[in-house]
Amino acid sequence: MPVDPYVTLGVGKSASQDEIQKAYRRLAKKLHPDLNPGNKKAEEQFKDVTAAYDLLGDAEKRARFDRGEIDASGAERPAHRYYRDFSEGASPYSSEAGYEDFGDADEILAQMFSRGGRARAHMRGADIHYRLTLDFLEAVNGGERQVVLPDGSALDVRIPAGTREGQILRLRGKGRPGFGDGPAGDALIEIEVRPHRIFTRKGDDIHLDLPLSLREAVLGGEVVVPTLTGKVMMKVPKWTNTNAVLRLKGKGARRLDGTNGDELVTLKIMLPEKPDPELEKFVADWRGEYSPRQATES
Amino acid sequence: MLSGTFILQARIEAEELETWCAEGWLLPCETESGREFSDIDLARAHFIRDLLNLGVNREGVPIILDLVDQIHGLRRVARDLLGTVKTLQQERGSK
């Protein structure tokens, strides 16, 4: 006969939902079969407690029960097998830790474990996922990085040139060890790239905004341009406007086929920071009739 | 069973399963057709879900799993030892 679920949980009829949850957790912690591997009685009690909580933990079901619409048996949960039911055989989860201080008994224990170690004899180890944050130039130019794994061991990771945000590097055999003769899993390293102060990357091309003086814009000349691999000189043709884009071939990021993207330099004309009386006088005398806003005015 | 069946039987979200596998709480077999889960994995998933429902936080779960696995190992050794002791006693008794 089903017992009163309020009695099972040890709460009064007027208990709040919160109190019911607390009561359930308190009992479940004590009675969960997997936390009591050797206690057969715990399983029965845990079932009762769980059934009672299924009923009372849900405010709606509880109201229906209180009104007498459903009885305490409610819907029986389909029986599931507990983790402890599998403790006999060997499994990937079997732990042999905790005997290092037993000294000579080690060998006897090793024998015992090997007797159990039959099931799932050969199985590939699991993959492990990591995240690695790289500086912009480190990702673009490639290099070596050491990753410290959660277990304290270090892993040398070769960053190929041209590595991009979100890319996943697979290190074969660097995951969890296999079982039996199974091979080890892989380490999967997801790459994040920190933004750069001046460069941005679109596909394999590198973009850069480069300030240009009024004189350079009007008369043209050679300017120094930073690239991924150092500075280069670039010819600016005379009469170059703001937003003009000059292309430095092959100065972009490395592609998979070994070729490189380009660097695209967007020019921005900058007036001197401090007002220059000479320039002001010169412009005042200038009779230019050009209106740059024809497109926006019409 | 494959991931789809596993999610239904374990009553967890696909996302949750990804996390559990990534954390190493579950170690399914990697096969050609995807991850293959066993009954042990399912029972372990039920256990993890129960732990989370009991209010154990995510940092606590691997600690508990590890301790429980150690207990199972200890219990197995204890049972084997007791069996051996019993046999020895009987042999001595029959002499």
For A3-36, the pLDDT digits (tens) are: 788 888 888 888 888 999 999 998 888 888 888 8
Position A218 confidence tier, pLDDT thresholds 50, 70, 90: very high
**Does 3.30.365.10 match the CATH number of domain A200-285?**
no
pLDDT value for A82: 80
Determine the pLDDT at residue A64: 81
**Lowest pLDDT segment from A66-70, A234-238, B1-5:** A66-70
User: A87-90: long-range contacts at Cβ-Cβ below 8 A with a sequence spacing of 24 or more?
Assistant: A87/A37, A87/B72, A87/B75, A87/B76, A88/A116, A88/B76, A89/A116, A89/A118, A89/A119, A90/A116, A90/A117, A90/A118, A90/A119, A90/A120
B73 contacts chain A (CB < 8 A): yes
Mean pLDDT of chain A: 83
Cβ–Cβ gap A86/B43 under 8 Å:
yes
- Is the domain spanning A128-193 CATH 3.40.50.740? The answer is no
From B93's Cα to the closest Cα of chain A, the distance in A is 24
In CATH, the number for domain B3-94 is 1.10.1660.10
Counting one residue from chain A and one from chain B, the pairs whose CB atoms sit within 8 A come to 89
- Local confidence band at A99 (pLDDT 50, 70, 90 cut-offs): low
Do A5-85 and A128-193 have matching folds?
no
B6 interface with A at CB cutoff 8 Å: no
Question: Any chain A CB within 8 A of the CB of B77?
Answer: yes
CA A256 remoteness from chain centre: 24
pLDDT class for A77, splitting at 50, 70, 90? Answer: very low
A168-181 per-position pLDDT tens digit: 888 888 887 777 67
Looking at residue A262, its pLDDT comes to 94
pLDDT for position A129: 81
pLDDT at A120 over 60: no
Q: Is the pLDDT of residue A117 over 50?
A: no
Window from A107-116, A202-211, A225-234 with minimum mean pLDDT: A107-116
> For residue range B40-76, what is the model confidence (pLDDT) as tens digits?
899 999 999 989 988 899 999 999 998 998 888 888 8
Residue spans of the domains in chain A: they are 5-85, 88-116, 128-193, 200-285
The answer, for A164 touching chain B at a CB cutoff of 8 Å, is: no
Cβ neighbours of residue A239 closer than 8 Å, sequence gap 6 or more: A217, A218, A220
pLDDT higher than threshold 80 for residue A196: yes
> What value does the mean pLDDT take over residues A228-238?
92
Q: Which two tokens mark A13?
A: 């009829």
Nearest-angstrom CA–CA distance, A98 and A90: 17
Q: From residue A285, give the alpha-carbon distance in Å to each of A225, A275, A280, A291.
A: 34, 17, 9, 17
Pick the residue of B27, B31, B33, B48 with the most A CBs within 10 A to test the interface with A by mutation.
B27
**Record: contact B40-A29, CB cut-off 8 A:** no
Q: Which pLDDT score, from 0 to 100, does residue A1 have? A: 42
Mutate to test the interface with A, among B30, B35, B59 (most CBs of A within 10 A): B30
Residue A76 pLDDT class (50, 70, 90 cuts): very low
Tell which residue, A35, A45, A30, A26, has the closest CA to residue A82.
Answer: A35
Residue partners of A268: CB distance under 8 A and separation at least 6: A209, A210, A211, A212, A242, A243
Q: Is the pLDDT of residue A167 over 60?
A: yes
CATH architecture assigned to A5-85: Orthogonal Bundle (1.10)
Domain ranges in chain B? 3-94
